[in-house]
């Protein structure tokens, strides 16, 4: 028997991106002690740090603006499915968070007059998006928050701790169990409130803008704990995802901020502009929303007018080198190291998995239906409806993270001291012990199962879906979770046992993937990021949110039985 | 989108000579051949080895080729580099854990401050 590491705190925050760090800061400034854990490194892992440019906030520094205008744009992009209260919270809270970060030394790009510079991003009616040069917005935000977190005596940050389960008793969250990656030891963290800020599930697609740690674990963990999911079927594909030539050292999202700054021409494989065929303006500007752009690119490729690697071309060849240099600075050198010269060649782009609009259903306190369990950031569903506006992910992380931390601290203070009894954690700890060393050298590796899952999701649960492909994906995911996972080989090692961590990543991630396939199957219409080839019309009867929950171990949809 | 899968067709081969073990004293080098296409990073090669040949190989990364998380630092042919931006090339490439930090396993070193870990 190994030693179980036991910790206790008022507020436990899982996920060290912008939402999680802000939640820990807000919990601490509202009187709580907080533990902030991340599977990788707090402030370095997750998606926030990869964000290159746009962060939307109605500051009114460049154009006259108002949070209500930001809200109107957000609701229009959401195609009728935004939770208006959450979207309003996001838009109204964003300016305060941006100014707060300025005070914490985030160096927002400024115009010559000294005002924060705001740029136009697709779907916004005003120049509204702030950024940090060059393509360093997420990195700058994370550095500032990491600095704040590390100087706060009420926050204990623990990197390399991977959450496996939320512990509940009588339907309420009382803490969590995880694995210490370095020692493979089980960790029990008793907490009066738990905030999940573990991001989305985009790693589960072969082509993705995701870092290595967004495998949907928060979705799986929340489901098991009794939380409801909302509109999980809406998963944004990033239209200008990098496809070719091979490029490393830059996030594959590079082309959208480049287009926001410079424009750029989208051309099909024959070198012709095509956006006008889909009701959009063509030319150098960039105003088409992400769902429409994804649709147009897929249709060109499907019609045999794709580029050599199966996407379309994005060309900046009409832009003078001096303008490229002014907008991109040192990024030009990174292109050069990858043999990309934008003055001489187009690049190939393709929509790739980017952002989970749906997620854990929360109210405006960021509280799930499980008392004591909160969600924030990408993992929290509802604010973005069927399609997220460019630039809304970072303010969502900041505003919802802050709100979740503050409300969790209040909840923790008001809760009668939880008893010392963590008996409910025992089965979760036993599972970690049982899995460590299971089927050594006989079964498939968790890494190989993940590879198959990523191929499967990419091929069958992409932006264009059919009942046939979704059913195949769903059934295969079920059998991977129920058959392959118990048979997977896990190393018995204690020091940095990656296969143990990957096994739990799969356990929760495959569950999330299954929920996405099921939700997509039940939404028999096309709307925003969810396009059904077999139900191409948007249905008035479906203009409402779908909820998924676990009942007697089975996923249940609120849309079951609903006809399109 | 079957055309995009054409990208996966490997063109060249590199041989990675990798330090394996739980300390600088107790360990050995193991060699792996890995197929790659022009432009692939050392990290791409390591991920491919874990997927296809040696799932126990310990590496650490988060952002995956974006060069922001800085977790994939290692010694590549004797120089401290990020595996996510160092390019694969045909022939032998030697990989060691970064110097001056305790080795946990293989290419993973203990880089966290004491305050930040259990």
Task: Report whether A169 contacts A49 (CB < 8 A).
Answer: no
Q: Which residues contact B67 (CB under 8 A, 6 or more apart)?
A: A248, A249, A250, B82, B84, B85
Please, which pLDDT band fits residue B10 given cuts at 50, 70 and 90? low
C-alpha distances (whole Å) from B77 to each of A24, B4, B36 are 41, 33, 18
Q: Name the DSSP class of A336.
A: H
Does any CB of chain A come closer than 8 Å to the CB of residue B108?
yes
Best probe of the B interface among A248, A298, A303, A489, by most B CBs < 10 A, is: A248
Beta strands in chain B (DSSP E): 12-21, 27-36, 73-76, 79-82, 91-96, 103-105, 108-109
> Quick one: residue A227, left, alpha or beta (phi over 0 = left, psi -120 to 50 = alpha)?
beta
A158 contact residues in B (CB cutoff 8 A) = 116-118
| Two structure tokens written together for A243 | 């496809």
A16's tokens: 């060290």
Q: Does residue B110 belong to the interface with chain A, where contact is any CB pair within 8 Å? A: yes
Write down the pLDDT at residue B11.
83
CA distance to A53, A75, A308, B6, per residue, from A243 (Å): 20, 31, 10, 12
Cα–Cα distance measured from residue A461 to residue B1, given in angstroms and rounded to the nearest whole number: 13
CB contact under 8 A, A249 and B87: no
Long-range pairs of B107-110 with CB within 8 A, sequence gap ≥ 24: B107/B18, B107/B19, B107/B46, B107/B57, B107/B58, B107/B59, B107/B60, B107/B74, B108/A496, B108/B58, B108/B59, B108/B60, B110/A182
- Model pTM above 0.90: yes
Identify the pLDDT of residue A289.
83
pLDDT tens for chain A, 564 residues: list them.
468 999 999 999 999 999 999 999 999 999 999 999 999 999 999 999 999 999 999 999 999 999 999 999 999 999 999 999 999 999 999 999 999 999 999 999 999 999 999 999 999 999 999 999 999 999 999 999 999 999 999 999 999 999 999 999 999 999 999 999 999 999 999 999 999 999 999 999 999 999 999 999 999 999 999 999 999 999 999 999 999 999 999 999 999 888 888 889 999 999 999 999 988 877 777 788 888 899 999 999 999 999 999 999 999 999 999 999 999 999 999 999 999 999 999 999 999 999 999 999 999 999 999 999 999 999 999 999 999 999 999 999 999 999 999 999 999 999 866 666 899 999 999 999 999 999 987 899 999 999 999 999 999 999 999 999 999 999 999 999 999 999 999 999 999 999 999 999 999 999 999 999 999 999 999 999 999 999 999 999 999 999 999 999 999 999 997 654
> Which residues does chain B have within 8 Å of residue A9's beta carbon, measured at their own beta carbons?
none
Cβ <8 Å between B68 and A462? no
Number of Cβ pairs closer than 8 Å across A and B?
Answer: 137
Interface test with A, best of B55, B73, B81, B87 (most A CBs within 10 A): B55
Interface membership of B91 toward A (CB under 8 Å): no
Answer yes or no: is pLDDT of B3 > 60.
Answer: no
Least Cα distance to B107 among B67, B65, B35, B47 occurs for B47
- Specify the residue for token string 């205008």: A69
B62–A246: do the CB atoms touch at under 8 Å?
no
Using a CB-CB cut-off of 8 Å, the residues of chain B touching A187 are 118
Count Cβ atoms within 10 A of the Cβ of residue B8 and give its class: 0-12 exposed, 13-18 middle, 19 or more buried.
Answer: exposed
Cα separation, A68 vs A74, in Å, equals 10
Average pLDDT, chain B: 91
Which B positions 21-80 lie with beta carbon below 8 A of chain A?
22, 37-41, 43-44, 50-52, 55-56, 58, 60-71
- Paired tokens of B26: 């107790």
CB–CB of A445 and B55 under 8 A?
Answer: yes
Q: Is the pLDDT of residue B7 over 70?
A: no
The alpha-carbon gap from A60 to the nearest alpha carbon of chain B, in Å, equals 30
Radius of gyration of chain B (CA): 15
CB A397 within 8 A of CB A376: yes
Identity of the residue in B22, B61, B116 whose CB atom sits nearest the CB atom of A159 = B116
Distances (CA, A) of A267 to A21, A220, A347, A527: 41, 40, 10, 25
To the nearest whole Å, the CA of A183 is away from the closest chain B CA by 9
Question: A339 to chain B: which residues are within 8 Å by CB?
Answer: 39
State how far the Cα of A282 lies from the Cα of A286, in Å rounded to an integer. 9
Look at residue A64 and give its three-state secondary structure: coil
The torsion defined by the Cα of A132, A137, A143 and A145, in degrees rounded to 10, comes to: 110
User: If you measure CA to CA, which chain B residue comes closest to A212?
Assistant: B62
Query: At A390, is the secondary structure helix, strand, or coil?
Result: coil
From CA B33, how far away is CA B10, in angstroms rounded?
Answer: 12
**Radius of gyration of chain A from its Cα atoms, rounded to whole angstroms:** 23
DSSP assignment string, A465-520: E-HHHHHHHHHHHHHIIIIIHHH------SSS-HHHHHHHHHHHHHHHHHHHHHHH
Comparing CB atoms, the residue among B6, B70, B108 nearest residue A496 is B108
CB atoms within 10 A of CB A318: 12
Nearest to A146 by CA among A327, A21, A2: A21
B52: chain A residues, CB-CB within 8 Å: 448
Question: How high is the pLDDT of residue A563?
Answer: 57
Is the CB of B62 less than 8 angstroms away from the CB of A337? no
User: Would the CB atoms of B116 and A158 count as touching at under 8 Å?
Assistant: yes
> A462: which residues sit within 8 A by CB, 6+ positions away?
A205, A237, B1
The pLDDT tens digits for B66-107 are 999 999 999 999 999 999 999 999 999 999 999 999 999 999
Q: Residue length, chain B? A: 118
- Say yes or no for a CB contact (<8 Å) between A246 and B66: no
Dihedral in degrees, nearest 10, Cα atoms A403, A404, A409, A412: 140
* Sign, CA torsion A286/A287/A289/A294: negative
Q: Cβ separation of B62 and A139 shorter than 8 Å?
A: no
**Is B2's pLDDT higher than 50?**
no
And the tokens for A441?
Answer: 């050298």
Nearest-by-CA chain A residue for B54: A445
Question: Residue A306's closest chain B neighbor by CA?
Answer: B3
Query: Would you say the ipTM is above 0.90?
Result: yes
Residue A282: C-alpha distances to residues A134, A189, A303, A528 (Å): 27, 54, 19, 21
Instruction: Say which residues have a Cβ less than 8 Å from residue A426's Cβ, sequence separation at least 6.
Output: none
What residues contact A533, with CB distance under 8 A and at least 6 apart?
A464, A465, A466
CB A435 within 8 A of CB A500: yes
**How does DSSP classify residue A3?**
P
Q: Say if the Cβ atoms of B1 and A462 lie within 8 Å.
A: yes
Q: Which chain A positions have a beta carbon within 8 Å of B38's beta carbon?
A: 245-246
Q: Is B8 on the interface with A (CB under 8 A)?
A: no
């Amino acid at each position: 028997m190994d030693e179980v590491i036991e910790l206790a705190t008022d507020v436990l925050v899982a996920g060290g991106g912008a939402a999680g760090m802000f939640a820990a800061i807000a919990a601490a400034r509202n009187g709580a002690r907080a533990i902030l854990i991340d599977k990788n490194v707090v402030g370095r892992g997750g998606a926030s740090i990869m964000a290159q440019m746009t962060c939307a906030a109605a500051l009114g520094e460049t154009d006259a603006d108002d949070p209500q205008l930001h809200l109107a744009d957000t609701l229009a992009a959401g195609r009728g499915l935004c939770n208006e209260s959450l979207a309003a919270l996001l838009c109204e809270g964003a300016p305060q968070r941006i100014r707060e970060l300025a005070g914490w030394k985030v160096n927002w790009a400024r115009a010559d007059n000294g005002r924060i510079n705001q740029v136009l991003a697709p779907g916004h009616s005003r120049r509204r998006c702030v950024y940090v040069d060059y393509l360093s917005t997420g990195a700058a935000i994370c550095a500032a928050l990491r600095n704040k977190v590390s100087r706060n005596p009420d926050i204990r940050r623990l990197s390399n701790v991977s959450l496996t389960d939320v512990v509940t008793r009588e339907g309420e969250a009382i803490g969590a169990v995880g694995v210490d990656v370095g020692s493979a030891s089980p960790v029990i963290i008793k907490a009066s409130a738990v905030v999940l800020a573990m991001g989305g599930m985009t790693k589960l697609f072969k082509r993705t803008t995701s870092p290595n740690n967004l495998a949907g674990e928060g979705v799986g963990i929340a489901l098991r704990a009794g939380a409801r999911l909302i509109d999980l079927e809406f998963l944004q594909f990033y239209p200008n995802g990098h496809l070719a030539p091979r490029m490393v050292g830059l996030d594959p999202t590079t082309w959208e901020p480049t287009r926001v700054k410079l424009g750029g021409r989208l051309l099909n494989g024959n070198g012709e502009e095509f956006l006008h065929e889909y009701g959009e303006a063509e030319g150098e500007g960039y105003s088409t929303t992400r769902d429409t752009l994804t649709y147009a690119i897929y249709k060109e490729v499907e019609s045999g007018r794709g580029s050599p690697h199966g996407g379309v071309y994005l060309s900046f060849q009409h832009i003078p080198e001096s303008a490229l240099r002014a907008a991109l600075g040192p990024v030009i050198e990174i292109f050069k190291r990858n043999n990309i010269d934008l003055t001489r060649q187009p690049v190939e782009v393709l929509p790739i998995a980017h952002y989970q609009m749906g997620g854990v259903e929360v109210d405006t306190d960021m509280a799930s239906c499980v008392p004591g369990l909160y969600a924030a950031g990408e993992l929290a569903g509802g604010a973005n409806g069927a399609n997220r506006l460019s630039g809304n992910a970072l303010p969502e992380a900041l505003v919802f993270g802050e709100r979740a931390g503050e409300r969790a601290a209040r909840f923790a203070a008001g809760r009668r001291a939880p008893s010392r009894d963590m008996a409910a954690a025992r089965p979760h700890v036993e599972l970690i012990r049982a899995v460590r060393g299971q089927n050594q050298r006989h079964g498939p590796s968790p890494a190989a199962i993940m590879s198959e899952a990523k191929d499967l999701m990419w091929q069958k649960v992409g932006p264009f879906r059919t009942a046939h492909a979704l059913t195949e994906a769903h059934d295969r995911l079920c059998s991977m979770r129920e058959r392959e996972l118990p048979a997977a080989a896990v190393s018995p090692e204690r020091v940095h046992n990656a296969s143990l961590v990957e096994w739990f990543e799969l356990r929760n991630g495959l569950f999330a993937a299954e929920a996405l396939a099921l939700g997509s199957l039940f939404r028999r219409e096309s709307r925003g990021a969810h396009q059904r080839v077999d139900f191409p019309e948007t249905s008035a009867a479906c203009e409402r949110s779908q909820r998924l929950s676990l009942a007697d171990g089975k996923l249940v949809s609120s849309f079951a039985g609903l006809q399109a | 989108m079957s055309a995009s899968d054409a990208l996966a067709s490997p063109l060249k081969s590199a041989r990675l000579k990798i330090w394996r073990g739980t300390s600088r004293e107790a360990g050995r080098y193991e060699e792996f051949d890995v197929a790659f296409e022009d432009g692939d990073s050392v990290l791409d090669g390591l991920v491919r080895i874990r997927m296809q040949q040696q799932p126990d190989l310990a590496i650490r990364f988060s952002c995956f080729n974006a060069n922001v998380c800085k977790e994939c630092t290692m010694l590549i042919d004797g120089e401290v580099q990020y595996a996510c931006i160092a390019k694969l090339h045909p022939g032998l490439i030697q990989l060691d854990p970064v110097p001056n930090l305790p080795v946990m396993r293989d290419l993973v070193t203990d880089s966290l401050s004491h305050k930040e870990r259990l």
